[in-house]
Amino acid sequence: MARYVTSKLLYTLLSLFILITATFFLMKAIPGDPFMSEKEVPASIRARLEAQYGLDKPLMTQYVNYLGNIVQGDLGISMKKLNQEVSHIIGQTFGVSLRLGLIAVVVSTIVGVALGLLAALYHRKFIDSMVMVLAVIGIAVPSFVLASLLQYALGLKLGWFPITGLKTPLGYVLPVMALSAGPIAYIARLTRSSMLEVLHADYIKTAKAKGLKWPAILWKHVIRNGILPVVTYVGPMTANVITGSVVVERIFGIGGIGKVFVESISNRDYTMIMGITLFYGIILMLARFITDIVYVLVDPRIKLTSGKEG
Amino acid sequence: MKKKSWMLLLTLVLVIGTVLAGCGSADEKTTTDTGTKTETGTTDEGTAAEPAADANLAADQTLRLNLSAEPPTLDPAQAQDSQANTALRFMYEGLATIGEDGQPKEGAAESWEVSEDGLTYTFKMRQGATWSNGDPVTANDFVYAWERALSPETVPAPVYAYQLYYIKGAEEFNTGKTKDFSSVGVKAVDENTLEVTLTNPTPYFLGLTSFYTYYPVHKATVEAGEAWATDPATMVTNGPFTLTTWTPGSELSWTKNDKYWDAANIKLTNVTATVVNSGATETASYQGGEIDYAGAPTGEIPTDQIQPLSEQLKDEFKLTDIASTYYYEFNTKEKPFNNAKIRKAFAMAIDRQSLIDNVTKAGQTPAYGFVPTSIAGLNNQSFRDEHPDSEYFKEDTAQAKTLLEEGMKEEGYTTLPPITLLYNTSENHQKLALAVADMWKNNLGVEIQTKNEEWSVFLESRKTGNFQVARAGWSADYNDPMTYMDMFVSGGGNNNTGYADKAYDALIDGAYKGGNDPEKRMQDMAAAEKLLIQDNMVIMPVYYYTQASLTKPYLKGVTTDFSGAINFTRAYLEEH
């Protein structure tokens, strides 16, 4: 296990390094800089700004300096949100996205698995078709359409939920629905097909023949085996959802990290772009790592180590 | 059978989805029209300039707004945008403020005198005006704030320092030519007297002192720490409201400042502003009763909703002329637009009214000049009324064709070189660019490529002259034609057209120095505009912007100035 974790960790660091390097040079290669605006900044003021942010140095020097700062855990100061630490802004806005995202993950996993299971148990029955139609809709309708639709119907017309913001618990309902519709659909389909496969497996027949009670079979054999593909999916999905959906955050006016990320790119807020990219990278790697571990816990057939411990 | 009906349902859902997807498009720039237009200048949105009897006031005086972007900073020296403008206006007060009639009136200064030569302004500080912590607001606070904005030592370098260059010696101090601040024309004669000396007589200087770069700051607060302008707990300000909370990316809120000298006339007790950068959401939020004001300049109403809203919410919807011009600029260094006749032909070959009616659909005014209709001229008239732009040129397809042929002969073309029209990525700009290209094709028989670039890329292309004809927009910094006309001097920082004309430069220079002869000064600027448009057609004006907004019927006392900037500080809510 320790060896597994170490090698994973090394790979993660290498990936992050490549990510930083690629982002840094791509970012600098795009035309424009943080101080551009419709009204030209006088040359002397611009020169001073560039010197203050170290943008007057050669590109390689800037790169080395940036790496040096990162190693010390310093993400720098935003070039647009004046005097604000990048790490502080990430902390503030990520908190919002995280809370919303985790709720969406929990909701979509529970609802998705339940629907998939139902569909599998009532294979080729009405419930099955119903779930599958919902799943097709959930996958086909993009979240921004659903979000606008929900906002218009349930927020504006019926007035059941707030139109914007997360100020009250009710405010979470619409964004969570918009965020989890897609994942619910995907998880339901995933669960259904894998459950169906499991239901037809020989060991289920054996279990039945042994006279095991149906709930016990369902719990111990069907769900435990059928859920594996879902675990594979939920990991990356979590990373995806908690890092903030730009579209949903925009529509519901939520001050999450997704919104900040997009703004930082159009503002050419260099330190902010780097900071958030790095942060996203870490979250994604972490999610994959955790997925691998959970996989082992759920499925004892998977062995991590090569021989020694086995 | 069952299958069929499911398919039907599915199709229906998808169709609705597609249609709705098309509706959701919001757009960056705010300005638009249709419906009632208000008069130029400052307008009072509620009819009541005199607040009605207090009995009519709502018990809860909390104003709810939305800002389409978070102000990047609340440091007056560092601010550069309209959101910060709205926010800072709650919190600070300059020497002068802009009154309901659009004219400067006493703010932190209770009176002022201007010397004969128009160069020296002596401001008397208002007695009893204090900071939110009780300290008196003194002349030294202004000296400190302006020195800080100008000082090369300030980090990051304040971009808008150049807004202070009207003051004698300010530019030299800011660019580091002199290290001695005492050479800059701003002095506190004593605690209560501020003396400001200008480089040139500047008739609009009093108006400038109401602008945020000119706001005072509280020295002890600023010196306490770099992040002072982000922390409501430590911020000391001198305006009608103080900042109470700032949740990054989500919300700002203000509370009435009881120490403000005019607190008796401030009716609002609280102001909250959400930060939602989607026009569609903001409009829905307004309709759902979550906010009291929507639209420009704080937020936006999506272009495609302007027409329907102007009918559905007739009493709440308003279009205001603002000081911004939409135009295309020619690169006079690039073929074929190095030829003035060809430029004129292009400018004459489009139908602006038709573009406004069918494409931009926001009641804008067709533009044939550069200075928009809401900029003041002399004697309470607008510059545009005194110098009508209809004299510069007329739309005329036949004449445009003749000019094009003449121009092509001069340059020895049998066919025009390929032409690309450049604009920044946005649905509105795209629609307009396609329509204009189409008009050029139909009326002049020329093929035009259109190309869009992301905002920063676009700015870079324009700046480096990497374009033939490009979309542009300009909004005023202050209420005087100069804010437009000084843009096209030879080598000017914002002059991307390559236009360099000694006669033009001389006129602008004359107007800069001739502040004591307002009549001649205006004539000079009109003559410069004539050179720019009628004689050389360096830019092709398209329209003067309007801004669309929605105000709840119970919200009164909101004022908008010539530029479209909004003032909520004297607003109040009626019982509703």
| pLDDT for the residue numbered B259 | 94
- Whether B55 shows a pLDDT value over 80: the answer reads no
Opening angle at CA B128, ends B125 and B130, nearest 5: 85
For residue A58, the distance in angstroms to the closest alpha carbon of chain B comes to: 20
Of B554, B563, B568, nearest in space to B59 by CA: B554
CA distances from B39 to B47, B114, B203, B319, B560 (A): 14, 30, 23, 10, 11
The closest CB to that of A164, out of B14, B247, B281, belongs to B281
pLDDT tens digits, residue range A115-157? 999 999 999 999 999 999 999 999 999 888 999 999 999 999 9
Segments in B242-325 forming alpha helices (H):
279-287, 303-312
Q: Is A83 on the interface with B (CB under 8 A)?
A: yes
Q: Spell out the long-range contacts of A18-22 with Cβ–Cβ below 8 A and sequence spacing 24 or more.
A: A19/A277, A19/A278, A19/A281, A20/A66, A20/A67, A20/A70, A20/A274, A20/A277, A20/A278, A20/A281, A21/A63
Q: Is A142 on the interface with B (CB under 8 A)?
A: yes
* DSSP bridge partners of B270: B62, B255
The tokens for B12 are 């229906």
**Three-state secondary-structure class, residue A71:** helix
Q: Which of B246, B290, B483 to mutate to test the interface with A (most CBs of A within 10 A)?
A: B290
Find out whether B406 and B344 touch, Cβ atoms under 8 Å.
Answer: no
Find out whether B543 and B364 touch, Cβ atoms under 8 Å.
Answer: yes
Phi and psi at residue B379, to the nearest 5°:
50, 45
- Collect all residues of chain A within an 8 Å Cβ-Cβ radius of residue B277: 250, 253, 259, 263
pLDDT tens digits, residue range A232-277? 888 888 888 888 788 899 899 898 999 899 889 988 999 999 999 9
* DSSP bridge partners of B197: B120
CA distances from B521 to B319, B394, B514 (A): 31, 26, 6
Q: What is the mean pLDDT of residues A1-28?
A: 88
Minimal-distance CA residue of chain A relative to B160: A41
> How far apart, in whole angstroms, are the C-alpha atoms of residue B83 and residue B441?
40
Q: What is the mean pLDDT of residues B416-438?
A: 95
- Collect all residues of chain B within an 8 Å Cβ-Cβ radius of residue A32: 454-457, 459-460
The closest CB to that of A92, out of B159, B248, B277, belongs to B248
Find out whether A272 and A260 touch, Cβ atoms under 8 Å.
Answer: yes
Find out whether B316 and B283 touch, Cβ atoms under 8 Å.
Answer: no
Query: Measured over all CA atoms, what is the biggest interatomic distance in chain A, rounded to whole angstroms?
Result: 86
Each residue of B178-193: b (16+ CB within 10 Å) or e? eeeeeebbbebeeebe
Opening angle at CA B501, ends B340 and B386, nearest 5: 85
Find out whether B159 and A35 touch, Cβ atoms under 8 Å.
Answer: yes
Find out whether B371 and B383 touch, Cβ atoms under 8 Å.
Answer: yes
- Whether B29 shows a pLDDT value over 70: the answer reads no
- Whether B165 shows a pLDDT value over 70: the answer reads yes
Q: Is B445 on the interface with A (CB under 8 A)?
A: no
Please identify among residues 501-520 of chain B the ones whose CB lies closer than 8 Å to any CB of chain A: none
Minimal-distance CA residue of chain B relative to A97: B249
DSSP state at residue B198:
B
Q: What is the ipTM of this complex?
A: 0.84
The tokens for B394 are 């007329």
Q: Is A49 on the interface with B (CB under 8 A)?
A: yes
pLDDT tens digits, residue range B281-298? 999 999 999 999 999 999
- Whether B540 shows a pLDDT value over 90: the answer reads yes
Minimal-distance CA residue of chain B relative to A90: B248
The closest CB to that of A93, out of B16, B75, B248, belongs to B248
Find out whether B459 and A36 touch, Cβ atoms under 8 Å.
Answer: yes
Q: Which of B281, B424, B463 to mutate to test the interface with A (most CBs of A within 10 A)?
A: B281
The closest CB to that of B456, out of A32, A251, A263, belongs to A32
Find out whether B537 and B345 touch, Cβ atoms under 8 Å.
Answer: no
The closest CB to that of A52, out of B2, B155, B493, belongs to B155
Q: What is the mean pLDDT of residues B194-211?
A: 95
Please identify among residues 230-249 of chain B the ones whose CB lies closer than 8 Å to any CB of chain A: 230, 247-249
Is the link from the previous residue into B156 a cis peptide, with omega within 30 of 0?
yes
Find out whether A90 and A264 touch, Cβ atoms under 8 Å.
Answer: no
The closest CB to that of B274, out of A80, A164, A263, belongs to A164
- Collect all residues of chain B within an 8 Å Cβ-Cβ radius of residue A251: 24, 278, 280-281
Phi and psi at residue B409, to the nearest 5°:
-65, -45
| Cβ within 8 Å of residue B477, ≥6 positions away | B163, B211, B483
Q: With pLDDT > 90 as the criterion, what percentage of chain A qualifies?
A: 54
- Collect all residues of chain B within an 8 Å Cβ-Cβ radius of residue A91: none
* Residue A192 one-letter amino acid: R
Query: Measured over all CA atoms, what is the biggest interatomic distance in chain B, rounded to whole angstroms?
Result: 92
Please identify among residues 88-127 of chain A the ones whose CB lies closer than 8 Å to any CB of chain B: 89, 92-93, 96
> How far apart, in whole angstroms, are the C-alpha atoms of residue A264 and residue B68?
15
Choose between B451 and B16: higher pLDDT. Answer: B451
Chain A, chain B: beta-carbon pairs less than 8 Å apart: 168
Q: Which of A79, A83, A96 to mutate to test the interface with B (most CBs of B within 10 A)?
A: A83
CB within 8 Å: B249 and A92 = yes
> How far apart, in whole angstroms, are the C-alpha atoms of residue B331 and residue B343?
10
Please identify among residues 146-175 of chain A the ones whose CB lies closer than 8 Å to any CB of chain B: 148-149, 151-152, 155-156, 159, 162-165
pLDDT tens digits, residue range A82-120? 888 999 999 989 999 999 999 999 999 999 999 999 999
The closest CB to that of B284, out of A37, A155, A165, belongs to A155
Q: Is the dihedral of CA A233, A236, A239, A241 positive or negative?
A: negative
For residue B249, the distance in angstroms to the closest alpha carbon of chain A comes to: 4
Mean pLDDT estimate for chain B: 89
CB within 8 Å: B456 and A141 = no
Continuous segment of H or E residues that includes residue B326? strand B317-330
The tokens for B331 are 């690169």
pLDDT tens digits, residue range B506-522? 999 999 998 889 999 99
Alpha-carbon radius of gyration of chain B: 25
pLDDT tens digits, residue range B99-156? 888 889 999 999 999 999 999 999 999 999 999 999 999 999 999 999 999 999 998 9
CB within 8 Å: A83 and B247 = no
Find out whether B160 and B148 touch, Cβ atoms under 8 Å.
Answer: no
- Whether B39 shows a pLDDT value over 50: the answer reads no
Find out whether A239 and A284 touch, Cβ atoms under 8 Å.
Answer: yes
The closest CB to that of A164, out of B157, B227, B276, belongs to B276
> How far apart, in whole angstroms, are the C-alpha atoms of residue B325 and residue B368?
10
Find out whether B350 and B440 touch, Cβ atoms under 8 Å.
Answer: yes
- Whether A182 shows a pLDDT value over 60: the answer reads yes
Choose between A42 and A297: higher pLDDT. Answer: A42
pLDDT tens digits, residue range B310-333? 999 999 999 999 999 999 999 999
Choose between A235 and B453: higher pLDDT. Answer: B453
- Let me know if B57 is exposed, middle or buried by CB neighbors in 10 A (0-12, 13-18, 19+): middle
For residue A118, the distance in angstroms to the closest alpha carbon of chain B comes to: 19
Q: Which of B88, B285, B423 to mutate to test the interface with A (most CBs of A within 10 A)?
A: B285
- Whether A296 shows a pLDDT value over 80: the answer reads no
Q: CA end-to-end span of chain A, whole Å?
A: 11
SS3 letters for B26-58?
A: CCCCCECCCCCECCCCCEECCCCCCCCCHHHEC
> How far apart, in whole angstroms, are the C-alpha atoms of residue B225 and residue B191?
25
DSSP labels, A221-233: IIIHHHTHHHHHH
| pLDDT for the residue numbered A266 | 87
The tokens for B538 are 């360096």
* DSSP bridge partners of B246: B252
Find out whether B294 and B313 touch, Cβ atoms under 8 Å.
Answer: no
Continuous segment of H or E residues that includes residue A271? helix A270-298
Report the phi/psi class of residue B372: left, alpha or beta, with left for phi > 0 and alpha for psi in -120 to 50: beta
CB within 8 Å: B460 and A31 = yes
Find out whether B205 and B121 touch, Cβ atoms under 8 Å.
Answer: yes
Q: Spell out the long-range contacts of B240-247 with Cβ–Cβ below 8 A and sequence spacing 24 or more.
A: B240/B90, B240/B93, B240/B266, B240/B569, B241/B90, B241/B91, B241/B266, B241/B268, B241/B271, B241/B569, B242/B91, B242/B132, B243/B74, B243/B90, B243/B91, B246/B74, B247/A92, B247/A255
Dihedral (Cα; A206, A208, A211, A214), 10-degree rounding: 140
Find out whether B545 and B300 touch, Cβ atoms under 8 Å.
Answer: no
CB within 8 Å: A152 and B284 = yes
Place of tokens 């700051």: B217
CB within 8 Å: B281 and A250 = yes
Minimal-distance CA residue of chain A relative to B15: A141
Choose between B50 and A183: higher pLDDT. Answer: A183
Find out whether B411 and B339 touch, Cβ atoms under 8 Å.
Answer: yes
